[in-house]
Chain A
Amino acid sequence: MTTETRQPTAPLDSGFRRNDVAAPLDSRVRGNDVASARNDDMSGGNDVASARNDVASSGNGESPVAGDAILSVRGLETQFFTDEGVVRAVDGVDFDVLPGTTMGIVGESGCGKSITAKSILQIVEAPGRITNGEINYNPSGDAGSATDLLSLGANSDAMRSIRGGEISMIFQEPMTSFSGLHTFGNQIDETLRLHTNLSKQERFDLGVDWLARVGIPNPTQRMHEYPFRFSGGQLQRAMIAMAMCTNPRVLIADEPTTALDVTTQAQILDLLQRMQEENDMAILFITHDLGVISEIADDVTVMYLGKVVETGPVFSFFDEPKHPYSKALLTSIPSMFTSSRERLPSISGSIPHPQNRPMGCAFHPRCQSFMAGTCDVGEPELQSVNEEQEVSCFLYEGQ
């Protein structure tokens, strides 16, 4: 959990402004040709791409336009090699995060959403290992300039400068994500020391500045305090400040509001949206809460047992969910708009243990639309059902 906030101390040469970073990065990258080839491939059909090209330099928070993804995950596989056997936690996951937008990843426990996030930053803990796939990171928006993060190596300088610098992460439990032995000032200073060339005083001032921007009262004094003095909501704000202080292009938020009360959750969601507008940042928002998704996401990816079952824009997802699992999720969750004392349709059964993954489509034992001889035999592929939505379900096969 703490990898992000307590990084090993190693001097890094990355510049502070993201525009500086993008250039030296490319020169360091190996396998760049492959990445660009893929990138062309992937952006086919999206010719609005050029509209995004100037965003990185101008940095104005204009409304998101479909185009080259800033982060494009392809065929990601992360497996855990345990004594009981291999757990395919992430099993061929594809999705794109567009610059300046929020991609929500929804799923229940064991669906691999957190492992996907950790895989992007290559902080998967042993016995887990990324076994396949590409994570193409394209901060400039120019076609062909994407970097496959997986080709960088988890401990390479380039990856270290991206991790916590250009791509930051905030975690579910703010209470356990900080070191209790260091003041908050020390912890934010470490991040800034690793990712900027600022002097000690400048780093302190920037820390104070960020604490103030996330709405923590008395920021100068709070810099000298230990995390136990902060409330849960304040700690989550402080973690956001720490993640934001390097001006990341992508923020990965792993269930950032799950441990918080609804009132605090509303504050944090507001803060994240404000930060996104001010900094033209993409957010990968991981949650199990469809309510939060409906509040914050532009696009949604639904995962079940390590696979993407559906992906598309948030409005299409809520208006016309395609996958039986998405439909069942949406109808089985009580909302403020269901009348009280009403029985909800529930999904039968429970999520299978990842070691006992069902044959065929992993959802088939719980599926209302199960087709014997099809769903329990082959695995459905993720395919487009219209211009916006992609689904992996045999119901849509051959459409």
Chain B
Amino acid sequence: MAVETTENGNGSASLLDVRGLVKYFPIKRGFLRRTVGTVKAVDDISFDIREGETLSLVGESGCGKSTTARSIIRAYEPTAGEIIFKTEDGDSIDLAQLSLVEMRPFRRQMQMIFQDPFSSLNPRMNIYEIISEPLLVHGIGSSSEREDRVAELLRVVRLRPEYMRRYPHAFSGGQRQRIGIARALAVNPRLILADEPVSGLDVSVQAQVINLMMDLQDELGLTYLFVSHDLSVVKQISNRVVVMYVGRIAEIGTPEELFDSPKHPYTAALMSSVPKPHPSQRTKRYVLEGEVANPANPPTGCYFHPRCPFATDQCKVEVPPLVKSKDGRFVSCHRADEIELTVN
């Protein structure tokens, strides 16, 4: 499925095609700020996002999932790679090559939702000002049209338009996250990059926001790139999931594939770590030993080999490419077709 788009490029259904994306951050030290090393935050990854789907990036902290999202929207300058975006009239444009001015119209089509609803809204701006700012930036509408649009957006995210003149402090966390969503929707984007959008919310409010995001996707035909470390939330919202480990992709698949029959030992370990929803399912956990590799000084070969129970000599030297396995899944593991993995 994903083959067409990642392998021969112009898959008709993909809205965004990320190819060989690399983002290194220099480590600067000393008086002269000389570069003494690089943090390989994102290290040659390729995946595509299809129109209307939710693609999730998961992994532990520091695995490069947020850096990937930020590089796509060019909040970070990618070190290398292509970010092919399909425009509304069907053209393909490599966003990585655009200047910041040329990038501007595409920014309108890609909006972000942030993690912390308490720091992502300016406390000195009222809700009308916050939500209408993207319209102002992109020069859309007259002031009365903007006001109508903000009222409409507030209704879309199930908030009362009368609240428009209130300030963020008057809202709860879940309400603030809705305001953040309304702001992202203001310019009618096609792709929403949501970076841990429900992590800062109380559990009783999380479901409201997830349901809202899924409803909006159906109503407005949105495509989501969803970044999260919460695998239960990811399982609920995603059509496909990309599992990342230290800047590289371990595995891509549907939630069911990854959760029920993982191919990469890291995916299996990750899934096994998730707490079981009922005490009767308590089992001996497959606890991953050791620590996440340091992206400034990663191990040789497969980055996961020091923690992998199946590692061979080959894994210590050779980087496993992300390849299609026998049953059409994408896995980067030398032994994907030999080993039997179960999640318990």
Contacts and interface: CB of A to CB of B under 8 A. Distances in A.
Contacts of A351: 172, 202, 204-205
A114 interface: no
Contact of A263 (B60, B174, B233): B60
Contacts of B281: 294
B202 A336 contact: no
Contact of A288 (B175, B203, B272, B278): B203
Contact of B273 (A265, A332, A335): A265
Interface stretch (B148-156, B206-214, B322-330): B206-214
Interface string A108-122: 110000000000000
Interface in B98-151: none
B277 A262 contact: no
B22 interface: no
Contact of B207 (A108, A269, A344): A344
B207 A346 contact: yes
B214 A343 contact: yes
A334 interface: yes
Contacts of B280: 315, 318
B97 interface: no
B274 interface: yes
B173 interface: yes
A332 B232 contact: no
A328 interface: yes
A170 B208 CA distance: 32
Interface string B170-191: 0011110000000000000000
Interface in A104-151: 108-109
A368 B238 CA distance: 29
A334 B235 contact: yes
B235 A336 contact: yes
B272 A332 contact: no
B239 to A, nearest CB: 7
Nearest to B172: A350
Interface in B289-344: 291-292
B237 A336 contact: no
A289 B229 CA distance: 14
A341 B291 contact: no
B207 A340 contact: no
A336 B278 contact: no
Contacts of A345: 207
Contacts of A291: 232, 274-277
Interface in B224-245: 229, 231-233, 235-239
Given A336-B231, A341-B237, A347-B205, 13 more contacts: A232-B61, A263-B269, A291-B277, A294-B279, A315-B279, A329-B204, A333-B207, A333-B277, A340-B236, A343-B211, A346-B211, A350-B173, A351-B172
22 contacts: A108-B203, A109-B202, A231-B292, A263-B288, A266-B273, A270-B285, A270-B287, A294-B276, A294-B277, A294-B281, A297-B279, A333-B203, A334-B236, A335-B277, A336-B277, A340-B238, A340-B254, A341-B236, A343-B211, A344-B210, A344-B211, A366-B204
Interface of B: 60-61, 172-175, 202-208, 210-211, 214, 229, 231-233, 235-239, 254-256, 259, 269-282, 285, 287-288, 291-292
- Listed from nearest, the 9 A-B pairs whose CB atoms lie closest are A291-B275, A335-B277, A346-B207, A266-B273, A334-B236, A261-B60, A108-B202, A350-B172, A332-B207
